[in-house]
Every structure is written in structure tokens, then in C-alpha cells.
């Protein structure tokens, strides 16, 4: 027998045997992820791409402690009950090691409660309600993005500079919208005691009667508007507001509107001069963002959206936590994430021990209609660590849960 052929055959058999071993037995780390892909594609399609880029980069460097990462996603139909059901499926059937994801605040809270009951580590990437980490925070839940209090705190100083007394409010009537409005009202009133809230419109999420809402706000004759609508609701509201002259000579402060997933679709309707939080990907010159942008563009032949940054940073956070814990055990991950530093496209962030909230910040600037395309101008990145409540307030809020 040819000895070379014998060696090759033995090697081939060994390779085949390895391939037949179940992935989990080889030490694959399974990240389970729950989200509203069908309901919120503008944000979540880029978000998923960001996650996949992070997984690819981690695995290309040998994985986490030699173990490859596998991402398993499920759609929650934008429904809290379905979110819990698919989270249970990921844990029981897929045997995931870490639970991540969610977009809407109500689904995020439902999965956070599931994580608490099942004692499984949960990293929420996107849901913005303050109940994720403060009033409703639990030991097993951490959150990446700055919540409604933090984003309101970033916008209020700019709102105060406007010196407007009569404010109107519009928001989607569910947990995120309610949380954002409560934070903005409290912070603005504290900074400008003479402020008045003269009108409030709270349409159901995804079902805004934009004409009626815009007209009701216009009839109140406010000096300024605080807007919390996003996605298709935002597009309809802006178009109707433009038609009715709602925004003419009137200041608008708006959460999320500077994010390309929401600003890009407005096109010719893009407003000028709105004060917004967002993501001006085209102008960020830091080395960490340039590296992320180039890798993302090379892989997808497209520019990143804010969702891309969130998905990417969430997976990188999980990897950093597992590496620090040297384990996927939930209790060890909970401890490892306390004070955990993570390098993201926005720079280094930290997960705070006292509230499990990351210090990721946001860009604040103004919108501009530039040849039929909305962009952000005059923007600055604000470090989230500077816009969080005092530790004593956080401790009190979490203790009350």
C-alpha cells in the first residue's frame, strides 16, 4: 500500500469524524437573539448585518478562547408574548449560552422579565425605556444603548437655549414613547420652570393619523415641538406637518430622527434645523469608526446605519464579557459585565455595575435638507457617562422593583 495514500486516508477520516460531531460538542458558543425583524426592518436589517460582521471578525481571530461563535436569531412579531415564547425556544431547544436582542421597549421588558425568572444572562441591545435598567432593572439584564432619560438629558440643554415657553408633545403611545416624554418633561421643567406643555398627541405605534395629529398640534399654537415618533410614523407626520406649515418658524426637538434609517426615507421632506439625536456616519473621523465603516462597507457594499453599530457593538460586548468571565455561565457573566470595558465604533464604553447600563453616548446635532437628502450638521458626540442619574437615584429606583 502507498504510505502517502494511507496517511491521506487517515487524515480524511479524522476530518470527517470531526465534522460529524455536533457543533455544540465542539465547544461552539451559541448567542440567541430575539427581535422584531418583520415589523422594524429599517433598523433591524442593518442591525443584523452589524451582528454578522462582528461574529465573522471574532471567528476569524479564533473565536472566544478557541470556541467559534454561532448566532441564532428569532422574530418576535413585535409582540411581548411571542418574544417570551421564542426566547424560551432558544433556551430549551437551541441550548443557547447567552440571550440578546429586542428592539421595542415592551418586548424588551418582557424578555428581561423572562431572563430574571429563568436566571439567564440577557444583553438588550436597543430597547430604550428606562425601566430596562432602572425602575424595572434586574440582576440578569444589561443594556447597550443610551435610554430615554439619557437621550432626553442630551437634548434638554439645546431645548433650553431656544427659550421657548409653550411646548407641544407627540409620541407613540407605548412604553418607549411614554418613558421618553416623562424624562423630557421632568428635565425641561427642572431647567426652565416657566415652561408649559400646551398639547399632547399620543397615537398608537404604527397607526398614526398624521393629518389629524399635525392639525391638533398646529391648533395649539405652540412655540416648539418635542417629537418622539420614528419609522413610518415619523415619515407620515413630517409630510403632513410640512403640508400644513406646522414646522414653519417653529422649533422642533426630536429623538432618533438623525438616525439614517429614519432620516434617509424622508428625502425631499427632510426638515431643516430640527435638533436631533442620530448617527452622521459620513462625518465621523475617529480611527475606530473608520475601521468599522471600511469593514462594513467592504462586506455589504453599503454604508452603516445606527442599527449596524448597535448590532456590532452588542456582539462585541458579549464576546468581551465571556472572555472576561472565562465562561458562559449566567451568574459569572453578570459579574463579568460589571465595569466591563468594550471597544465600539463610537469608542470605548463601560457597563456600569450599579445599573447595568452602558456608557455608550449619542450624536446630537441639527437636520439639514441637502439637495433632497436629510443629513446631520453641527453635531457633537456626547459621552453617555455624563448623562446618567446619580448613583443614589439609580439604587433607589432599582430597590423599588
Q: What CATH number is associated with residue 379?
A: 3.40.50.2300
Residue 17 forms part of a structural domain: no
Burial zone of 50 (CB within 10 Å; 0-12 exposed, 13-18 middle, 19+ buried): buried
- Distance, in Å, from the CA atom of 371 to the CA atom of 289, rounded to the nearest integer, reads 26
Q: Report the C-alpha gap between 68 and 56 in whole angstroms.
A: 10
Strand 69-75 to 29-35 pairing? parallel
Residue with cell 432599582: 398
Grid coordinates standing for 2? 502507498
- The pLDDT tens digits of the residues spanning 165-183 come to 999 999 999 999 999 999 9
Rounded CA-CA distance 58/315 in Å is 9
One domain, residues 155 and 277: yes
Is the domain of 139 the same as that of 247?
Answer: no
pLDDT of res. 392 = 79
3-state secondary structure of 181: helix
- Same domain for 64 and 206, yes or no, is no
Reading the block at residue 292, the C-alpha cell is 468599522
Q: Indicate whether 94 and 234 sit together in one domain.
A: no
Domain containing residue 220: 149-282+363-387
What is the reported pTM? Answer: 0.91
**Domain-terminating residue out of 361, 377, 395:** 361
Give CA–CA dist 81/97, Å, rounded.
22
**Residues 261 and 382 reside in one and the same domain:** yes
Q: Is residue 314 part of a domain?
A: yes
Give bridge partners of residue 124 from the DSSP assignment: 101, 143
How far is the C-alpha of 117 from the C-alpha of 139, rounded, in Å? 11
Q: Report yes or no: 185 and 156 within 8 Å, Cβ to Cβ.
A: no
Torsion angle, CA of 316/135/207/374, rounded to 10 degrees? -50
Cell of 38: 418583520
Compute how many other C-beta atoms are within 10 angstroms of the C-beta atom of residue 249.
6
CA-to-CA separations, 143 to 112, 173, 206, 224, 358, in angstroms, rounded: 10, 22, 25, 31, 6
User: In terms of domains, do 43 and 141 share one?
Assistant: yes
Count of domains for the chain: 2
Burial bucket for residue 114 (CB in 10 Å: 0-12, 13-18, 19+): buried
Question: Can you say whether the dihedral through the CA atoms of 150, 153, 158, 163 is positive or negative?
Answer: positive
The reply to whether 241 and 289 lie within a common domain is: no
Q: Give me the helices (H) in 250-303, please.
A: 260-263, 287-300
Sign of CA dihedral 363, 365, 366, 372: negative
Cell of 302: 453599503
Predicted pLDDT of residue 26: 58
pLDDT of residue 22: 38
- Residue 198 in any domain: the answer is yes
Residues 153 and 278 in one domain: yes
Pairwise CA distance, residues 178 & 339, whole Å: 29
Q: Mark whether 265 and 153 lie in a shared domain.
A: yes
Q: Is residue 7 domain-resident?
A: no
How does strand 275-278 pair with strand 251-258?
Answer: parallel
Q: Which three cell numbers stand for residue 145?
A: 444603548
pLDDT reported for residue 391 = 77
- DSSP assignment of 243-254 equals HTTTTTT-EEEE
Does residue 194 sit in the same domain as residue 208?
A: yes
Indicate whether 63 belongs to any domain: yes
Place of cell 443614589: 392
**Backbone dihedral angles phi then psi of residue 339, each to the nearest 5 degrees:** 80, 10
Low-confidence ranges of the chain (pLDDT < 70): 1-26, 400-401
What is the pLDDT, as a whole number, of residue 400? 66
- With residue 174 as reference, give the H or E element that holds it: none
- Say which residues have a Cβ less than 8 Å from residue 5's Cβ, sequence separation at least 6: none
* Residue 278 resides in a domain: yes
Q: Do 303 and 282 touch, CB atoms closer than 8 A?
A: yes
Contact 166, 224 (CB under 8 A): yes
344 closest CA partner among 359, 325, 328: 359
Query: Which DSSP symbol is given to 273?
Result: S
DSSP letter at 168? E
Phi/psi at 32 (nearest 5 deg)? -90, 140
**Is 325 in the same domain as 379?**
no
Does residue 172 form part of some domain? yes
Same domain assignment for residues 203 and 307 = no
H or E element, residue 92: helix 80-92
In the DSSP assignment, the letter for residue 283 is G
User: Is the residue at 225 inside a domain?
Assistant: yes
Amino acid at each position: 500500500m502507498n504510505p502517502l495514500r494511507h496517511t491521506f486516508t487517515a487524515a480524511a477520516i479524522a476530518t470527517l469524524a470531526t465534522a460529524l460531531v455536533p457543533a455544540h460538542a465542539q465547544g461552539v458558543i451559541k448567542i440567541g437573539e430575539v427581535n422584531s425583524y418583520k415589523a422594524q426592518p429599517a433598523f433591524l436589517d442593518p442591525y443584523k448585518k452589524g451582528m454578522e460582521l462582528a461574529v465573522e471578525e471574532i471567528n476569524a481571530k479564533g473565536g472566544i478562547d478557541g470556541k467559534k461563535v454561532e448566532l441564532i436569531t428569532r422574530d418576535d412579531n413585535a409582540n411581548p408574548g411571542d418574544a417570551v415564547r421564542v426566547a424560551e425556544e432558544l433556551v430549551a431547544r437551541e441550548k443557547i449560552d447567552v440571550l440578546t436582542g429586542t428592539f421595542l421597549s415592551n418586548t424588551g421588558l418582557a424578555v428581561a422579565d423572562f431572563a430574571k425568572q429563568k436566571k439567564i444572562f440577557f444583553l438588550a441591545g436597543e430597547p430604550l425605556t428606562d425601566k430596562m435598567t432602572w425602575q424595572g432593572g434586574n440582576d440578569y439584564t444589561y443594556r447597550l444603548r443610551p435610554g430615554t432619560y439619557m437621550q432626553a438629558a442630551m437634548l434638554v440643554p439645546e431645548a433650553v437655549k431656544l427659550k421657548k415657553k409653550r411646548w407641544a408633545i407627540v409620541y407613540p403611545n407605548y412604553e418607549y414613547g411614554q418613558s421618553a416624554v416623562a424624562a423630557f418633561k421632568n428635565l425641561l421643567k427642572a431647567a426652565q420652570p416657566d415652561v408649559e406643555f400646551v398639547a399632547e398627541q399620543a397615537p398608537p405605534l404604527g397607526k398614526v393619523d398624521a393629518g389629524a395629529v399635525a392639525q391638533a398640534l398646529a391648533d395649539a399654537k405652540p412655540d416648539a415641538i418635542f417629537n418622539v415618533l420614528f419609522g413610518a410614523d415619523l415619515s407620515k407626520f413630517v409630510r403632513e406637518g410640512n403640508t400644513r406649515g406646522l414646522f414653519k418658524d417653529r422649533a422642533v426637538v426630536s429623538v432618533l430622527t438623525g438616525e439614517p434609517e429614519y432620516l434617509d426615507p424622508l428625502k425631499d421632506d427632510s426638515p431643516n434645523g430640527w435638533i436631533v439625536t442620530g448617527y452622521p456616519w459620513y462625518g465621523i473621523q475617529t480611527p475606530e469608526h473608520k475601521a468599522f465603516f471600511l469593514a462594513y462597507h467592504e462586506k455589504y457594499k453599503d454604508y452603516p446605519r445606527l442599527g449596524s453599530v448597535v448590532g456590532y457593538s452588542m456582539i462585541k460586548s458579549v464576546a468581551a464579557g465571556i472572555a472576561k468571565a472565562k465562561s458562559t455561565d449566567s451568574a459569572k457573566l453578570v459579574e463579568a459585565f460589571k465595569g466591563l470595558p468594550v471597544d465600539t465604533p463610537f469608542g470605548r464604553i463601560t457597563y456600569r455595575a450599579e445599573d447595568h447600563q452602558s456608557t455608550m453616548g449619542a450624536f446630537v446635532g441639527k437636520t439639514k435638507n441637502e439637495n433632497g437628502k436629510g443629513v446631520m450638521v453641527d453635531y457633537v458626540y456626547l459621552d453617555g457617562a455624563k448623562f446618567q442619574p446619580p448613583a443614589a437615584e439609580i439604587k433607589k429606583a432599582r430597590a423599588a422593583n
